[in-house]
Amino acid sequence: MTERNPFPWWRSLLRTIAWIGLGALVGIGLGLLVGWVVWPLEYSEADPSILEIGYQRDYTLMIASAYSLDRDLELARARLRSLDLDEPNKWLLTVTVDHILEGENEIVSQHLVDLASVLGLYSPVMDPYYPQPGTEVGG
């Protein structure tokens, strides 16, 4: 007399996979919702490269002003690099030109021009900030 198996093995396996798969789908959805929306991992350990563009621009102004005081070119370069820009020199020149053309703080413009010049950057709008022939620097 042979026994009849009411649940063939493949049917049992299918049932297991179905339930685990259903649970996994719900778990994945729940996990992504929690991980990306409800409770995202907030990086408070970030570097200046994540700053919003306006803050990056302001950061650049501060780099130039700090350079005007400490005259530490390597430090200024390192600070520019921390913005993780593709072309930091081009960025500095753009910020300098924009700052001059927008007629913002003249002192800061001078700081930007000083730093840009030391880094070998030039734009005609920077001309008024260079010492004119016949004028004494600081005088």
Partner 1 sequence: MNDPSLVSRARRQRWLRSRGPRMSAGSLLMIGLILGLAGALYYAWIAEPVTFTEASPARLRDTFKQEYILMLGQSFESDGDWELAQERLDALGEFGTGQAIVEQLEASMRDGRPSSELHSLAVLARQAGVDSPVVDVFAPPPTPALSALATSPPTPPVEPTIVFEGTLLPTGTPAPSATPSPVPSPTLVPAFRLLSQVQVCDPKGPAERIEVITVDSFLEPLPGAEVLVSWEGGRDHFFTGYKPELGQGYGDVNINPDTSYQLMMAEGSQIVSDLRVELCDSTAGGFPGGWRLTFQNTDVIQDSP
Residues found near partner 1 in the complex (CB under 8 A): 3, 5, 7, 9, 12, 15-16, 19-32, 34-36, 40-48, 50-52, 55, 58-59, 61-63, 65-66, 68-70, 79, 82, 105, 107-108, 111
CA 33: distance to chain centroid? 25
Cβ atoms within 10 Å of 117's Cβ, excluding its own: 14
**Residue 16: its H or E element:** helix 9-32
Smallest separation (angstroms) from partner 1 to the CB of 136: 13
In this complex, which beta carbon is closest to partner 1, that of residue 4 or of residue 133? 4
Smallest separation (angstroms) from partner 1 to the CB of 41: 5
